[in-house]
Amino acid sequence: MRAFRSYPIIGAALAQLAAGVVVIAMRPALAGVIDAGSLFWASLGVQCAGAALVTRLLGLPVWWVWINLFFPAAMALALQAGDFPAWPFGVTFLVLYLVFSNTARERVPLYLSNRQTAEALVSVMQQRGARRFVDLGSGLGGVVRRLDGDGRIARGVESAPMVWLVSLLLSKLTGRGLILRQDIWAADIAGEDIVYAFLSPEPMPALYEKARREMKPGSLLVSNSFAVPDVEADEVWELPDRRKTRLYLYEMKGGAAAA
Ligand SMILES: C[S@@+](CC[C@H](N)C(=O)[O-])C[C@H]1O[C@@H](n2cnc3c(N)ncnc32)[C@H](O)[C@@H]1O
């Protein structure tokens, strides 16, 4: 089960395989009883429902259950459509890759901080008299553009190609913020006063280690929604927005040597 948590696609493929075995086993028994059309729909129904059920039993995240439920139906419909051109699939895949490439690699999808969060970050910087800010995994760069200016210098680091390109253009057009195409693990954060991240639970332990190793004493790691496991935050800000956003603030005490 642990392997499926790290590589859910393997669990999802196994679930489809298990449902396929059931379909193959049941078809001869049903073939003499129902007509070919009904047999097709019955097989499809068992494939979809069976794959979803096995996915659930394997404990995969809920979106894999939905994917496995609809994937066989989508395949069947595409095949039935006959000479449906192949290129929309290729283009869709390419666009999804260019936008969501970090979802598979880092378990970090693209979702954006809201306005209230950006305003709270402005308050954090004002309270601490902070000047330098970096958003690790800056998405479309909204936070960076809001934070830059009024004496503050804000950078964003983003590696998903299309997301980076759009945020770079927006930054150039508005003249706010600096967007770098870079992996967060290669980003230089030694000079930053505030390092902000809105990622996922997965990278939090490694991110905290990087912050502890590289950030200067007194600087702050701020994580939106995802706490660092087994580390008590110095402050937790709960925002009055609809999703009750929580910001976890970790003050750096003086590098790895001080830990
Ligand atoms: C949840 S979004 C947050 C976007 C933005 N920080 C905000 O709060 O609006 C996370 C972003 O991190 C990016 N990301 C994930 N892993 C990354 C990595 N290793 N290097 C650079 N960017 C990464 C994703 O592509 C995505 O755009």
**Ligand 1 center to 174 CA (angstroms):** 21
- Report the distance separating Cα 162 and Cα 95, nearest Å: 8
What count of other Cβ atoms lies within 10 Å of the Cβ of residue 246? Answer: 15
> For the whole model, what pTM was predicted?
0.74
Q: Is the CB of 113 under 6 A from ligand 1?
A: yes
CA neighbor of 50 nearest in space, from 33, 63, 69 = 69
Q: Is the CB of 139 under 6 A from ligand 1?
A: yes
The atom number, within ligand 1, closest to the CA of 196 reads: 6
Cα angle 98, 99, 104 (rounded to 5 degrees) comes to: 90
Average pLDDT, the chain: 90
The atom number, within ligand 1, closest to the CA of 184 reads: 20
Q: Is the CB of 167 under 6 A from ligand 1?
A: no
- Report the distance separating Cα 100 and Cα 159, nearest Å: 10
pLDDT, one tens digit per residue, over 184-204 is 999 999 999 999 999 989 899
Across residues 35-56, what is the average pLDDT? 93
Confidence tier at 3 by pLDDT (50, 70, 90): low
Across residues 105-134, what is the average pLDDT? 91
**Residue 229: per-residue pLDDT:** 96
pLDDT for 258 beyond 70 = no
- Report the distance separating Cα 103 and Cα 93, nearest Å: 14
By most ligand atoms within 8 Å of CB, the mutation choice from 112, 144, 159, 225 for ligand 1 is 159
**Ligand 1 center to 14 CA (angstroms):** 30
pLDDT for 104 beyond 80 = no
**Residue 254: per-residue pLDDT:** 72
What is the percent of the chain where pLDDT is above 70?
93
Q: Spell out the domains of the chain, with CATH numbers in brackets.
A: 2-84 (no CATH), 115-258 (3.40.50.150)
pLDDT for 257 beyond 60 = no
Contacts of 23 (CB under 8 A, 6+ apart): 43, 46, 47, 50
Contacts of 181 (CB under 8 A, 6+ apart): 158, 159, 161, 164, 168
| Of 71-85, 105-119, 142-156, highest mean pLDDT | 142-156
pLDDT, one tens digit per residue, over 195-251 is 999 998 989 999 999 999 999 999 999 999 999 999 999 999 999 998 899 999 999
The atom number, within ligand 1, closest to the CA of 101 reads: 25
The atom number, within ligand 1, closest to the CA of 137 reads: 12
Cβ atoms of 197 and 207 closer than 8 Å: yes
**Side chain identity at residue 225, one-letter code:** S
